[in-house]
Amino acid sequence: MHGHLTIISGRAHPKLAAEVADYLGIGMGKVAIWNFPDGEIGLKIDQNIRGMDVYLFQPTSPPVNENLMELLVLIDACKRASAARITAVIPYFGYARQDRKDSGRVPITAKLVANLITKAGADRVLAMDLHAAQIQGFFDVPVDHLYAAPIIDDYFRSLRLPQDQIVVVSPDEGSIKRSVQHQEHLGGSLCIVDKRRSSATETKQANLIGGPIDGKIALLFDDMISTAGSIVGAVNIVHEHGASKIFVGATHAVFCGKATALLREAPIHEVVVTNSIPLTEKQTFPNLKVVSVAPLLGEAIKRIHRNESVSYLFD
């Protein structure tokens, strides 16, 4: 067992860190963070953390480079303050989509970021719904990879949707495995949107495989909603095929570009996301529902601290 447990948050998402601290029944660790006039990050840990088990909360969501650098500086400060073990808690891992060379002369930035976090001094990483599961292998330290699907599914179960009316729709071929897992928990049938990509930022939706969907309640799931182009395109296809109600579920609400406007105007009954990323007032809209992952992260931290199994949370 490591020393006392403490949670320290960067400026990316202190609200989620505080929720997790509440769940664990502990106070937040004290840290002062500021920017120098030239933009450099300065910070000081305002308490003794020598010999402690420290959990640093910092999703690397937009502004991704600022938040990533702040995480690295936090890790270094804790290392130099003689923390016994440092766990980087990264509910949303930025750069995760740059996980392979899909053409010549491009970087694998997800691996570079993993190297930076390890080199800074993190002893382990706690992440959630990584865009590609193999990113765990990019780190040379242990990675606990959590999934928000049970929390999102619990919310949908609370809506008491009739099972014979549910169709779980995979928005593209890459999301089939995720959609099958949701279908196993929520019931209903399965459908796939056959998506054709025209460029890195634009996709063209084509056909619907499976069904029928006419008069049914469609549930679409993805790991993240970034520009919302893909998911709204899939929603429109499902709507054209006669779905009576459409729900969208995703772990990470990145919501960049015109995402909020697209989601607000799309024929979606409700968009369900987690609080892995903080949302500004401009990013919210009436039919957005945010569910908290604080209990999941809190339970994982409790188990890591006690050297117990984290995979138990998936059973």
Active site residues: 195
Q: What are the residues whose beta carbons fall under 8 Å from the beta carbon of 270, sequence distance 6 or more?
A: 247, 248, 287, 288, 289
Whether a cis peptide bond, with omega within 30° of 0, leads into 295 is: no
H runs (alpha helix) in the chain? 14-24, 64-80, 109-120, 149-158, 176-186, 229-240, 259-265, 294-305
Nearest to 138 by CA among 159, 112, 119: 112
Q: How many CB atoms lie within 10 A of CB 81?
A: 16
For the chain, what is the radius of gyration of the CA atoms? 20
By CB neighbour count within 10 A (0-12 exposed, 13-18 middle, 19+ buried), where does 72 fall?
A: buried
Buried b (16+ CB within 10 A) or exposed e, 275-310: bbbbbeeebeeeebeebbbbebbbbbbebbbeeeeb
